[in-house]
Structure 1
Amino acid sequence: MPRLISDLKGQRAQLDLRVIILDDNSTDATLATAKRAVGSDPRFKVLSGTGNPPPGWVGKQYACHRLAAHVDGMADEGWVADVLVFLDADVRLQPDAIERSVEYFGRTESELVSVWPAQCAFTASETVVQPLLAWSWMAFAPMWMTNQSTNPDHAVACGQFLVIDRNIYKSAGGHAAVKDSLTEDLDLARLLRGNGVGTSVVLASGQARCRMYDSARDLHAGYTRWLGTAFGGPVKSCTIAAVATLAYIAPPLLAVGGGGAVRRIGIVGYTAAVASRMIVWSAEHQRTPTIASSASAVAHPLSTVAFIGLLASSRFRQVRGSTSWKGRALPQVAQISQQELAAR
């Protein structure tokens, strides 16, 4: 968090910027560290949370709900926000990141813009899994198509960096409308689209980056808390796993063990997957692929195996009712339907 605070202090934005930070009942020295990092800067305020979120709430949504409520209360101080920017504590920003994101928001017809930070990966487990986040949507749906679509099922969002119109956020119910979702960013975007509000995703273009997990243990815990809900129920999850196996595990096996036309098909399929991984990585990070990212692309079948394993583990945890994150039990919700979202 101190690094993000430092980045926010260094923003060159010509904006009336206010930063509200919430320490969500942490058990370490986060609160004291945040206050030291903020210092006497009048634009910043640090809030502290006490106790667990109310029943039915996921911690992140309750934290965002509290932050938005605090911004509403600042109207009594004569300051009214037009745009809300939600940032995860592990996001790093370049000095122009906030200004450029808000400018882009103003140029679009979307009321929710998801700024996609470049996902950093350093350890072996990160390098195998993390590139799949951007690849999983960029390789199959061009960004212009994703952003122009009004279909809630085609929404793409990343809760690490969200820019949203404050009035639209309030009228949709804010994070309270998706309080028990394990994929709150996607469900918030789907909710807005279902209400006729435009949403879009834009690459941070070097202005923001994020390292989600720094160990294999944290990566496993992070993905298994939500991945099983990303595709719907068990039938859809099994279908996704089967398609991934046929598309990305079978081709290299055919290339090695097949002959004639079968082998050529395997080579073409494997090469296409590797090429798409490298193209997406280059677009996401705004530079040519590194040796590590190229090796990760070549290991795409291994990435697919890891994805299927995480998906199965996530579904298993949900069936057992053991889904948790950072010591807190999470609501056991398989998926929030569009009908339920619309009714909230």
Structure 2
Amino acid sequence: MIRGWKGKQHACWKLAREAIHAPLLLFLDADVRVHPWAIARAVAALRRWDVSLLSGFLRTEYEGFLDALLLPLMQFFLLTYMPLRKMQESTDERYSVASSKLMLVERGAYFASGGHAAIRGVADDGVLLARVFREHGYFTDVVDLTKLASVHLRRSPGATWASLSRRIADTFEMSGKPFWVTTLLKLAQLAPAVVLGWLLYAAIVDFSDLLHGSKNLDIDTMFFGGLLMAIAIICALVPRLWAAYRFKQPWWSAVMHPLGVAVLLVLEGSVWLRTKLFRPSPRATRSYAE
């Protein structure tokens, strides 16, 4: 018996070892629906760009509110803060990005890097498998597959919270990036919403004072406040709305961007505190036979 394996990782590793004549290995989640020619195009892209691991962002159909609120946001942060050009030009593990739903890999590179055996105990095998490849000098890349593959996501809010907690815990464990760095980046995303809230409050107070005759109308102040409000709206909504359109995501999730950031900060903070207090994150304990 083998302990310390996650179910998916063990299944992928075992089946990969049995495919002894396959030069390429395709890891595909059971709930993914692949459109005609999607796999052939993925193989062509892997060969054309000369990479050892190719994954893609799929079109996701959400049923749960929490999934639709947080998952597009996590993808948005990944693409926003990841220098894609540097990722494509180097094998630096800091630029690891991948989607676990669909991954196409070269067999030789997979086993040379350790494959799923190198990340046997983690919950998220996407970004972390790409990191393992890069640590061994192999190139990886990620592409847009929203027109070629899709997945229907259906789970309860509790299952979503537990699943994302495990993924975040694994990322904290393997990335080595200080928690405060990602927290500051997300807090910066909340700044436009804070500015908007302050401006609305100031406008209501000023208007009330104006009605009571205790304050004169200040055109310059109103213009400056309106300009700040316009900038805040653009900074907050335009990038998310573009991402929602580009990757076929719910538009309302983009509009509720500040709420999503706040919930994500609470989730990451709870995982970080649990780690610091030496309380184990929720993980399944299983044993598998070779």
1:65 corresponds in structure 2 to 13
Instruction: For 2:133, give the aligned amino acid.
Output: L
Residue 284 of structure 2 corresponds to residue 321 of structure 1: no
Return the offset for 1:66: 1.0
Distance, in Å, in 2 between the alignment partners of 1:151 and 1:212 is 32
Query: 2:55, 2:98 within 8 Å by CA — same for their partners in 1?
Result: yes
Query: 2:115, 2:132 within 8 Å by CA — same for their partners in 1?
Result: no
From 98, 106, 115, the counterpart of 2:56: 115
CA separation of 1:203/1:166 partners in 2, compared to 1, >3 Å: closer, same or farther? same
Distance, in Å, in 1 between the alignment partners of 2:116 and 2:99 is 14
Report percent identity of matched pairs: 26
Return the offset for 1:312: 2.2
Alignment of 1:93-242 (within 5 A): 93-141=34-82, 143-232=84-173, 236-242=178-184
1:54 corresponds in structure 2 to 2
Residue 225 of structure 2 corresponds to residue 268 of structure 1: no
Return the offset for 1:87: 0.7
CA separation of 1:98/1:173 partners in 2, compared to 1, >3 Å: closer, same or farther? same
1:244 corresponds in structure 2 to 186
Secondary structure of the residue that 2:62 maps to in structure 1? Answer: coil
Return the offset for 1:155: 1.3
CA separation of 1:172/1:314 partners in 2, compared to 1, >3 Å: closer, same or farther? same
User: How many residues end up aligned between the 2 structures?
Assistant: 262
Distance, in Å, in 2 between the alignment partners of 1:314 and 1:172 is 29
Secondary structure of the residue that 1:181 maps to in structure 2? Answer: coil
Secondary structure of the residue that 2:2 maps to in structure 1? Answer: coil
Return the offset for 1:199: 0.5
Query: 1:115, 1:158 within 8 Å by CA — same for their partners in 2?
Result: yes
CA separation of 1:126/1:243 partners in 2, compared to 1, >3 Å: closer, same or farther? same
Distance, in Å, in 2 between the alignment partners of 1:304 and 1:154 is 22
TM-score, normalized by length of structure 2? 0.80
Query: 1:110, 1:197 within 8 Å by CA — same for their partners in 2?
Result: yes
Query: 1:57, 1:179 within 8 Å by CA — same for their partners in 2?
Result: yes
Query: 2:237, 2:257 within 8 Å by CA — same for their partners in 1?
Result: yes
Secondary structure of the residue that 1:182 maps to in structure 2? Answer: coil
From 251, 254, 276, the counterpart of 1:294: 251
RMSD over equivalenced CA pairs, Å: 2.6
CA separation of 1:206/1:142 partners in 2, compared to 1, >3 Å: closer, same or farther? farther
Alignment of 1:80-91 (within 5 A): 80-91=21-32
Query: 2:9, 2:120 within 8 Å by CA — same for their partners in 1?
Result: yes
Return the offset for 1:275: 0.9
Distance, in Å, in 2 between the alignment partners of 1:71 and 1:234 is 34
Distance, in Å, in 2 between the alignment partners of 1:320 and 1:270 is 40
Higher mean Cα deviation, 250-259 or 200-209? 250-259
Query: 2:64, 2:154 within 8 Å by CA — same for their partners in 1?
Result: no
Return the offset for 1:185: 2.3
Query: 2:241, 2:255 within 8 Å by CA — same for their partners in 1?
Result: no
2:242 corresponds in structure 1 to 279
Return the offset for 1:190: 1.5
Return the offset for 1:235: 7.5
Distance, in Å, in 2 between the alignment partners of 1:238 and 1:264 is 31
Return the offset for 1:263: 7.0
Return the offset for 1:182: 3.5
CA separation of 1:201/1:235 partners in 2, compared to 1, >3 Å: closer, same or farther? closer
Distance, in Å, in 2 between the alignment partners of 1:69 and 1:97 is 24
Query: 1:274, 1:298 within 8 Å by CA — same for their partners in 2?
Result: yes
Secondary structure of the residue that 1:92 maps to in structure 2? Answer: strand
From 242, 259, 264, the counterpart of 1:307: 264
Query: 1:139, 1:280 within 8 Å by CA — same for their partners in 2?
Result: no
Distance, in Å, in 2 between the alignment partners of 1:264 and 1:253 is 15
Instruction: For 1:275, give the aligned amino acid.
Output: V
Return the offset for 1:234: 9.1
Query: 1:138, 1:280 within 8 Å by CA — same for their partners in 2?
Result: no
CA separation of 1:175/1:123 partners in 2, compared to 1, >3 Å: closer, same or farther? closer
Higher helix share: 2
Return the offset for 1:223: 0.2
Return the offset for 1:200: 0.4
Q: Which runs of 5+ in 1 are unaligned?
A: 1-52, 73-79, 331-344
Q: Deviations over 1:220-250 (max 9, x none)?
A: 11101121332458982233223312x1223
Distance, in Å, in 2 between the alignment partners of 1:267 and 1:321 is 44
